[in-house]
């Protein structure tokens, strides 16, 4: 059968999947890297008594398109069932008109996710800026360590990369954005930021001779990894919104892979933020009030601390391995097959207490 002239070029007739398909069809399909569409030409059999296309046929088209796209997206020919379909009718069509459905499986969730990441990053950058000012006031050594600033100065740059001498007392090389560290710490691009050496001298004068600086590479890099992973996630989010703009729907495999990798970026940023907060405060438990060394409990021995740390690490490590292995196993298996008899039984039992259908 040749397609009616209303069928746009590029559409191919869909093979029949059921008697119902034969009854309402023919349906036509168009597929490329960016889109997936299913359509039909309104025939006499699709009219309601007012002569326009029956709403039931529009629902049928939506259902076909959704099911077909879901099968393609999951890469399985698994039998899927529709559990919910809600439709608004905005217009009508008559015999000979072409109607088509476009299906976006990833778009809405991708867009919500991307906007959430972008907004969250801007929010965290703004609150982080205020937090940095409080930190500069209350824990100046932490700010100096975050930026590996050894000498007090004005208009201090935010370094993207820095190398220091092995004893950590001097910086030998730095790539920087001018004035940004001053702005972060003082709200002014020309503000003064105290350096590690000056703060060390002040603390020695106040509390006696000791090393009052934290591990500078840990402080410096954890600060950068916190901001960096967050910024990278925001960059991916902005690039995704651009790639999916105006109805585009890139379906290349690497797009999905990057999407999955991005999930871990805020997690890494959070972890490095926490590492920075704790490690760059050393050697203090409470900056200027109590040294970590003075906070050591006399009631608990080092052996007891080691035992509980090792036990907890092994326990949670083992649980994490089991959890990930089970997740991968059940993702690969996919949702359980539902037969018509199961569906009928579920409907008959709809008021009964539901038995557990999935657990691991």
What span, in angstroms and rounded, lies between the C-alpha atoms of 166 and 189? Answer: 30
Percent helix / strand / coil, the chain, rounded to 5 = 55, 10, 35
Name the residue nearer to ligand HEM (CB basis): 52 or 279. Answer: 279
**CB of 119 closer than 8 Å to CB of 249:** no
Question: Total residues at the site for ligand HEM (CB under 6 A)?
Answer: 19
Per-residue mark of binding to ligand HEM, 96-135 (x: CB under 6 A): -------------------------x--xx--xx-xx--x
Per-residue mark of binding to ligand HEM, 225-264 (x: CB under 6 A): -xx--x----------------------------------
Name the residue nearer to ligand HEM (CB basis): 67 or 128. Answer: 128
Q: Give CA separation, 268 vs 174, 233, 274, in Å.
A: 25, 10, 10
- 4 burial class (0-12, 13-18, 19+ CB within 10 angstroms)? middle
Q: Within 285-324, which residues bind ligand HEM (CB under 6 A)?
A: none
The CA-CA-CA angle for residues 61, 62, 68, to 5°, reads 90
Contact between 78 and ligand HEM (CB under 6 A)?
A: no
Residue from 39, 191, 195, 273 binding ligand HEM (CB under 6 A): 273
- Phi first, then psi, for residue 26 (nearest 5°) are -75, 150
Contact between 277 and ligand HEM (CB under 6 A)?
A: yes
Per-residue mark of binding to ligand HEM, 46-65 (x: CB under 6 A): --------------------
Q: What is the dihedral of CA 58, 63, 66, 72, to 10 degrees?
A: -120
Name the residue nearer to ligand HEM (CB basis): 98 or 225. Answer: 225
- Minimum CB separation of residue 258 from ligand HEM in Å reads 18
**CB of 217 closer than 8 Å to CB of 163:** no
Per-residue mark of binding to ligand HEM, 154-193 (x: CB under 6 A): ------------------------------x---------
DSSP string, 151-185: S-EESPPEEEEEEE-TTSS-EEEEEEETTHHHHHH
Name the residue nearer to ligand HEM (CB basis): 242 or 274. Answer: 274
Question: Which residues contact ligand HEM (rule: CB under 6 A)?
Answer: 121, 124-125, 128-129, 131-132, 135, 184, 226-227, 230, 266, 269-270, 273-274, 276-277
């Amino acid at each position: 059968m040749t397609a009616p002239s209303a069928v746009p070029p590029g559409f191919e007739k869909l093979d029949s999947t059921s008697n119902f398909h034969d009854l309402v069809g023919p349906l036509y399909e168009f597929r490329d890297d960016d889109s997936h569409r299913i359509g039909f030409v309104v025939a006499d059999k699709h009219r309601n008594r007012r002569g326009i296309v029956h709403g039931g046929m529009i629902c049928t088209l939506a259902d076909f398109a959704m099911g077909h796209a879901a099968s393609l997206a999951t890469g399985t020919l698994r039998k899927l069932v529709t559990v919910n379909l809600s439709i608004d009718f905005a217009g009508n069509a008559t015999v000979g008109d072409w109607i088509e459905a476009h299906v976006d499986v990833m778009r809405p969730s991708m867009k919500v996710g991307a906007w959430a990441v972008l907004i969250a990053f801007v929010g965290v950058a703004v609150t982080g800026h205020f937090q940095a000012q409080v930190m500069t006031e209350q824990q100046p050594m932490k700010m100096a360590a975050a930026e590996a600033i050894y000498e007090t100065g004005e208009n201090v740059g935010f370094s993207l990369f820095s190398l220091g001498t092995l004893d950590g007392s001097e910086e030998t090389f730095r790539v920087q954005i001018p004035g940004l560290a001053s702005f972060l710490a003082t709200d002014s691009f020309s503000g003064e930021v105290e350096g590690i050496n000056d703060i060390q001298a002040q603390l020695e004068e106040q509390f006696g001779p000791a090393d009052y600086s934290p591990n500078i590479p840990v402080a410096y890099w954890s600060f950068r990894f916190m901001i960096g992973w967050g910024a990278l996630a925001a960059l991916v989010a902005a690039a995704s919104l651009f790639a999916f703009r105006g109805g585009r729907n890139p379906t290349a495999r690497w797009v999905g892979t990057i999407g999955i990798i991005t999930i871990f970026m805020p997690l890494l940023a959070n972890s490095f933020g926490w590492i920075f907060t704790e490690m760059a405060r050393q050697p203090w438990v409470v900056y200027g009030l109590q040294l970590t060394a003075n906070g050591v409990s006399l009631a608990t021995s080092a052996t007891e601390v080691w035992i509980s740390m090792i036990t907890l690490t092994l326990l949670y490590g083992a649980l994490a391995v089991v959890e990930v292995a089970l997740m991968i196993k059940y993702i690969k298996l996919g949702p359980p097959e539902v037969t018509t008899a199961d569906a009928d039984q579920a409907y008959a039992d709809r008021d009964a207490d539901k038995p557990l259908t999935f657990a691991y």
